């Protein structure tokens, strides 16, 4: 017969063994899913644009799980809210990678948020899919840029305004951070290279969330009263767009007088604006909800069914997440693993259908091929396509119009470099 002590000891041993088994089961269960990070602002000035990107990621993950998941495992979304706080993006990225052990992250909108997280993704060797148009001048091993580079949005938009609208004077209006400033630097160099004079270019920057546009819109009207056709090229981001467009309407600025072409206003932003006075103003994107293709029709139907809201709109960055997510799935299947380096090697060259009728490809510079569309705001808050490229345009990481950049190329396959200098033959950027 066992002593009381022996019985107790045996009980403890049995409990410990059971706890160990339970712990092993818990650890095994944790490995039964592949975690996917979703890093988008759900509060603050950028929530107007980013919340819908969180929603579409949840839909894509849900759809993939209905297909059987990935590598025999279910996908699990891990959603965080960096709250339009740029340093917080880095903290949340570290949380997703180091604590949650996500296989990849889909997120960021502003370039300042992307710049904030870059060191984290490099240090921890994880993957970011970035779905929004940006200023270029970058190619990182750990980032895949599924939004437009300047040659896939800004440059075609300016060409359209010059050729089709006869624009001679240019207002470059943006939010005061890296994307508008760098994009406008490229556009200013491009315009001057085409013979536009300094006095025909007006540049203005405002803070995030700017709300008092009366003086600025008045200045735009005055600038456009010289007798030369004037247009506004807008890199204004986030909820500042709402009072900006309202003030344009208040002061009677019509598209026939001074058209505005926006790079950060899509269907989601228009949903919060009285679009009546904005009819005729423009946006340049690589996707519009109004584009009539079977793939887009099916996507819109799936989106509105998933959100249980027949009024929910789709937009360009959503399509970029669709493309990026499907490319990641294919790359993981090709590599047979979620290992970062193997997925990075596998994804270049992968092609997936976009929603506008073409097929996008991941290039060695970690950008993709995309069509370009110019859309005109209509009375329903949608865009009527008024111009588009004939073919898909390859994203260019480095601008052909900036000194120090035009000699650089990014190639993560043959050169293993994001800023190879073709003049010096060295990786590392600008010549000294």
pLDDT tens profile 187-202: 999 999 999 999 999 9
Percent of the chain at pLDDT > 70 equals 92
Note the pLDDT of residue 277. Answer: 73
pTM of model > 0.85: yes
| Dist CA 362 CA 137 (whole Å) | 18
State the residue for tokens 């339009």: 84
The Cβ of residue 351 has, within 10 Å, a number of other Cβ atoms equal to: 15
Note the pLDDT of residue 430. Answer: 54
Asked whether residue 15 carries a pLDDT value surpassing 60, the answer given is: no
Contacts of residue 65, Cβ cutoff 8 Å, sequence gap at least 6: 74, 75
Asked whether residue 20 carries a pLDDT value surpassing 80, the answer given is: no
**Model confidence band, residue 415 (pLDDT cutoffs 50, 70, 90):** very high
Q: What is the mean pLDDT of residues 244-273?
A: 89
66 — phi, psi (to 5°)?
-65, -25
Average model confidence (pLDDT) across the chain: 91
Task: Give SS3 for 82.
Answer: coil
Q: Which two tokens stand for residue 73?
A: 């495992």
Asked whether residue 283 carries a pLDDT value surpassing 60, the answer given is: yes
**Model confidence band, residue 10 (pLDDT cutoffs 50, 70, 90):** very low
State the Cα angle at 411 between 180 and 354, rounded to 5°. 65
Note the pLDDT of residue 81. Answer: 98
Quote the crossing angle between the two packed helices 294-306 and 47-66, to the nearest 10°: 100
Note the pLDDT of residue 44. Answer: 95
Asked whether residue 290 carries a pLDDT value surpassing 90, the answer given is: yes
Helices (H) and strands (E) in the chain, counts: 12, 19
The number of CA neighbours under 13 Å toward the Cβ of 372 is: 20
β-bridge mates for residue 204, sequence order: 173
Nearest to 171 by CA among 195, 203, 213: 203
State the Cα angle at 165 between 259 and 401, rounded to 5°. 90
The rounded radius of gyration (Å) of the Cα atoms in the chain is 24
Q: 144's torsion region: left (phi>0), alpha (psi -120 to 50) or beta?
A: beta
State the Cα angle at 287 between 161 and 115, rounded to 5°. 90
| Dist CA 409 CA 427 (whole Å) | 9
Q: What is the mean pLDDT of residues 216-229?
A: 96
Could you write out the three-class secondary structure of 34-55?
EEEEEECCCCCCCHHHHHHHHH
**Model confidence band, residue 112 (pLDDT cutoffs 50, 70, 90):** very high
Q: Which two tokens stand for residue 334?
A: 């090709």
Asked whether residue 314 carries a pLDDT value surpassing 70, the answer given is: yes
Note the pLDDT of residue 432. Answer: 35
Burial of 293 (0-12, 13-18, 19+ CB in 10 A): middle
pLDDT digits (tens, 9 = 90+) for 237-248: 888 888 898 899
Q: What is the mean pLDDT of residues 263-279?
A: 82
Percent of the chain at pLDDT > 90 equals 84
Note the pLDDT of residue 429. Answer: 65
- Residue 95 DSSP code: I
Note the pLDDT of residue 272. Answer: 67
Asked whether residue 61 carries a pLDDT value surpassing 80, the answer given is: yes
β-bridge mates for residue 373, sequence order: 285, 388
């Amino acid at each position: 017969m066992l002593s009381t002590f022996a019985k107790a000891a045996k009980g403890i041993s049995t409990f410990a063994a059971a706890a160990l088994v339970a712990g092993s089961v818990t650890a095994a269960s944790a490995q039964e899913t592949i975690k996917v990070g979703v890093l988008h602002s759900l509060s603050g000035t950028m929530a107007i644009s980013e919340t819908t990107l969180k929603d579409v990621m949840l839909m894509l993950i849900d759809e993939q799980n209905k297909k059987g998941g990935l590598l025999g495992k279910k996908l699990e979304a891990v959603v965080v809210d960096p709250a339009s706080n740029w340093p917080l993006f880095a903290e949340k990225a570290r949380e997703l990678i180091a604590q949650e052990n996500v296989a990849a992250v889909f997120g960021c909108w502003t370039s300042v948020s992307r710049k904030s997280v870059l060191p984290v993704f490099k240090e921890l060797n994880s993957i970011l899919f970035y779905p929004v148009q940006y200023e270029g001048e970058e190619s990182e091993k750990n980032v895949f840029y599924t939004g437009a580079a300047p040659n896939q949005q800004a440059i075609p938009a300016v060409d359209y305004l010059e050729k089709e609208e006869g624009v001679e004077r240019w207002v470059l209006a943006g939010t005061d951070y890296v994307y508008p400033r760098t994009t406008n630097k490229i556009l200013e160099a491009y315009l001057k290279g085409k013979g536009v004079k300094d006095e025909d270019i007006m540049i203005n920057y405002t803070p995030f969330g700017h709300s008092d546009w009366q003086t600025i819109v008045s200045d735009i009207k005055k600038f456009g009263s010289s007798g030369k056709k004037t247009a506004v090229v807008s890199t204004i981001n986030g909820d500042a767009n709402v009072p900006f467009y309202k003030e344009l309407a208040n002061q009677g600025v019509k598209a026939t007088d001074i058209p505005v072409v926006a790079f950060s206003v899509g269907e989601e932003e228009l949903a919060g604006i009285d679009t009546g006075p904005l009819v005729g103003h423009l946006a340049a994107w690589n996707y519009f909800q109004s584009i009539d293709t079977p793939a887009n029709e099916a996507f819109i139907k799936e989106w509105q069914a998933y959100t249980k809201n027949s009024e929910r709109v789709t937009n360009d960055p959503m399509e970029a997440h669709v493309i990026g997510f499907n490319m990641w799935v294919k790359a993981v299947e090709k590599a047979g693993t979620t290992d970062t380096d193997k997925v990075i090697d596998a994804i270049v060259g992968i092609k997936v259908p976009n929603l506008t009728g073409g097929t996008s490809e991941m290039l060695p510079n970690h950008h993709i091929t995309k069509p370009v569309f110019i859309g005109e705001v209509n009375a329903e808050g949608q865009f009527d396509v008024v111009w588009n490229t004939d073919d898909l345009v390859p994203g260019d990481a480095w601008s052909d119009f900036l000194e120090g950049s035009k000699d650089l190329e990014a190639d993560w396959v043959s050169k293993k470099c994001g800023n190879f200098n073709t003049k010096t033959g060295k990786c590392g950027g600008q010549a000294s």
